[in-house]
C-alpha cells in the first residue's frame, strides 16, 4: 500500500530510486515487491522504466464505484439537487485527514476544479471536510487534529489548529460549513455533514466565486439541508446507526 500510495500521489511516474526513498524498503525487498505488482497489473512501467499505476486498479476502482452502497443511495439525490440549483454538487467521505469524493454531479456550466470522483482533498479547507469533522465526537476529533498538516493553498486557507477549531464551532452552531476560496482560488461552496453508518460524510454545492457570494450560497441552504436530510434518512435505513467515526 505504501508503494501504491507513493505512485498514486506523485505528479508523474516514479523512478526506482524515488520509490526507494519514499518507502524506506531495502533495495532487494522493493525489487521483489515491484516485480510482483507488475505481474499482477497493479503497476506498469514505460520505456524509461518509471513506475505508474496499472490498469487493473482502474477495473477495481470501477467495480468499487458501481457497487458502493452509499453511492447508489446518494446519486439520485445529487442529481435532483443539481437540477434545482444548477451548480456542481459533491458527496464526500472522511478518510483520515482527507475527504474522498465519492460522487460528483457537474454543473451545466462546467468550471475546472481539482475535485473528481476518487480524488482526495484536505479536511481543514474544504466545505465537506469541515462539515464532516464537525460530526465527530470530541474524543475522536482530539485524536485526529494533531495528524493534520496545514498547508496554505490561498490567502483565506485555515492555517492552524485554533482557526480550525473556531471554524468547527461555527459549523456546529450554524449547521453548515463554507469554503470561501480556501482550497482553490475562485471556488466557493456551502456544505452540510451527513452520518452514513459509522462514517462521517458531507454534501456540498460548489460554484465559481463570481456567481456564488455568501448570500448566494445561503440561498441554497434550504435545498441542501433537505437533500442532506433525505440522504441521511435513506442511509440510516440501509446501513443503520453509527458512531460517526473517522475511517
> Are the C-beta atoms of 48 and 55 separated by less than 8 Å?
no
Spell out the alpha helix ranges (H) of 40-187. Answer: 55-67, 69-85, 127-133, 138-144, 161-174
* 80 and 109 both lie in a single domain: yes
Query: Which residue is it, cell 487534529?
Result: 145
Q: Do 142 and 26 fall into the same domain?
A: no
CATH code for the domain in which residue 208 is found:
3.30.450.40
Domain boundary among 39, 61, 83: 61
Q: Helices 2-9 and 27-39 sit at what angle, rounded to 10 degrees?
A: 80
pLDDT at residue 199, as a whole number: 86
> Do 112 and 9 share a structural domain?
no
Asked whether residue 98 falls in the same domain as residue 24, the answer is no
> Rounded to the nearest 5 degrees, what angle is found at the Cα of 32, between the Cα atoms of 51 and 54?
30
Cα distance between residue 128 and residue 163, in whole Å? 17
- Find the distance separating the first CA and the last CA of the chain, reported in whole Å: 16
| Residues 195 and 232: beta-carbon distance below 8 Å | yes
Please give the pLDDT value at position 107.
Answer: 85
Residue ending a domain, among 38, 61, 84, is 61
Model's pTM, two decimal places?
Answer: 0.74
Same domain, 118 and 14: no
The CATH number of residue 51's host domain is 1.10.10.10
CA distance 165 to 189: 19
Residue written as grid cell 456544505: 191
- The pLDDT assigned to 221 comes to 96
pLDDT in tens, the chain (247 residues): 889 989 988 889 999 999 999 888 899 999 999 999 999 999 999 888 999 999 888 777 767 765 667 778 899 999 999 999 999 999 999 999 999 898 999 887 665 555 667 788 999 999 999 999 999 999 999 999 999 999 999 999 999 999 999 999 999 999 999 999 999 999 999 999 998 878 899 999 999 999 889 999 999 999 999 999 999 998 887 766 654 444 4
Q: Which three cell numbers stand for residue 39?
A: 505481474
pLDDT score recorded for residue 245: 44
Amino acid at each position: 500500500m505504501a508503494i501504491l500510495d507513493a505512485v498514486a500521489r506523485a505528479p508523474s511516474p516514479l523512478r526506482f530510486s524515488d520509490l526507494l526513498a519514499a518507502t524506506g524498503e531495502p533495495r532487494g525487498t522493493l525489487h521483489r515487491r515491484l516485480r510482483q505488482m507488475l505481474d499482477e497489473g497493479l503497476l506498469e512501467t514505460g520505456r524509461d522504466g518509471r513506475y505508474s499505476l496499472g490498469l487493473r486498479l482502474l477495473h477495481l476502482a470501477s467495480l468499487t464505484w458501481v457497487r458502493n452502497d452509499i453511492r447508489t443511495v446518494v446519486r439520485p439525490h445529487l442529481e435532483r439537487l443539481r437540477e434545482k440549483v444548477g451548480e456542481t454538487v459533491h458527496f464526500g467521505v472522511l478518510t483520515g485527514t482527507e475527504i474522498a469524493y465519492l460522487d460528483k454531479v457537474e454543473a451545466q456550466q462546467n468550471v475546472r476544479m481539482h475535485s473528481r470522483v476518487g480524488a482526495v482533498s484536505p479536511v481543514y479547507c474544504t466545505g465537506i471536510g469541515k462539515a464532516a469533522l464537525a460530526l465527530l465526537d470530541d474524543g475522536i476529533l482530539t485524536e485526529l487534529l494533531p495528524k493534520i498538516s496545514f498547508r496554505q493553498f490561498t490567502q483565506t486557507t485555515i492555517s492552524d489548529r485554533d482557526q480550525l477549531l473556531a471554524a468547527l464551532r461555527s459549523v456546529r452552531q450554524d449547521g453548515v460549513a463554507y469554503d470561501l476560496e480556501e482550497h482553490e482560488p475562485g471556488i466557493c461552496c456551502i456544505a452540510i455533514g451527513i452520518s452514513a453508518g459509522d462514517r462521517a460524510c458531507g454534501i456540498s454545492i460548489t460554484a465559481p466565486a463570481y456567481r456564488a457570494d455568501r448570500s448566494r450560497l445561503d440561498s441554497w441552504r434550504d435545498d441542501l439541508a433537505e437533500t442532506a436530510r433525505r440522504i441521511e434518512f435513506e442511509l440510516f435505513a440501509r446501513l443503520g446507526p453509527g458512531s460517526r467515526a473517522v475511517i
